[in-house]
Amino acid sequence: MITDSFHDFFLASAGASAALIGLLFVAVSVAPDRVVGPKAAALHQVRATMALTALVSTLVLSLIALLPDTNIGWPATIIGAAGALFVAGSLRRFASADTNEPRRRAVFLLAGFLLVMLYETSSGIRLVVHPHATGAVTGAAAGAIALLAIGIDRAWELVGGRRTGIGSSLTDLAVGQAEPHDSTPTP
């Protein structure tokens, strides 16, 4: 159960994620064939799906948290497990994709997403066992923040935005400079 101190956080989180989902649909609708069409690159499909998964996960968790007298343990656990399954499916998709796609970067980003989803699952399990554990609610909230950030970052890459900042610098260091970011502009 969340305390009143978390109510405003989850209210803001629900509103932000809902608005960002709407913007993601607009961004995808500008160039649907490039992003989600049958001939779309695997990297674009994974970016779009990861952005949507991250934002919808945050929205669902936040809305459930706003229900009175609700333990968000099971929803956080299920959302985290579903995210882990998404990563497995994405890795499978990359295994059968063209060899010219920047796989190392995608695998690195999927690994980060997997860590956030496992953390969300862990927070959820702690809440199932100890429904009033404030630390576990804080963990679920931190997972929601990370998912919002991931959703925004993947959406930015999806529309061809240039990667800048500390996060992309660390990613470039981790995967190397051999595989440049696809900055093909969206038509």
- Whether the model pTM is above 0.85: no
Cβ-based neighbour number of residue 97 at 10 Å: 16
Q: Is residue 182 helix, strand or coil?
A: coil
Secondary-structure breakdown of the chain: helix, strand, coil percentages, each rounded to the nearest 5: 75, 0, 25
Q: What is the average pLDDT across 29-56?
A: 85
Question: Smallest Cα–Cα separation from 44: which of 158, 179, 161?
Answer: 158
Q: Do the Cβ atoms of 51 and 154 come closer than 8 Å?
A: yes
Q: What is the pLDDT of residues 57-94, one digit of tens each?
A: 999 999 999 999 899 999 999 999 999 999 998 888 77
pLDDT band for position 107 (50/70/90)?
Answer: confident
Q: Is residue 99 helix, strand or coil?
A: coil
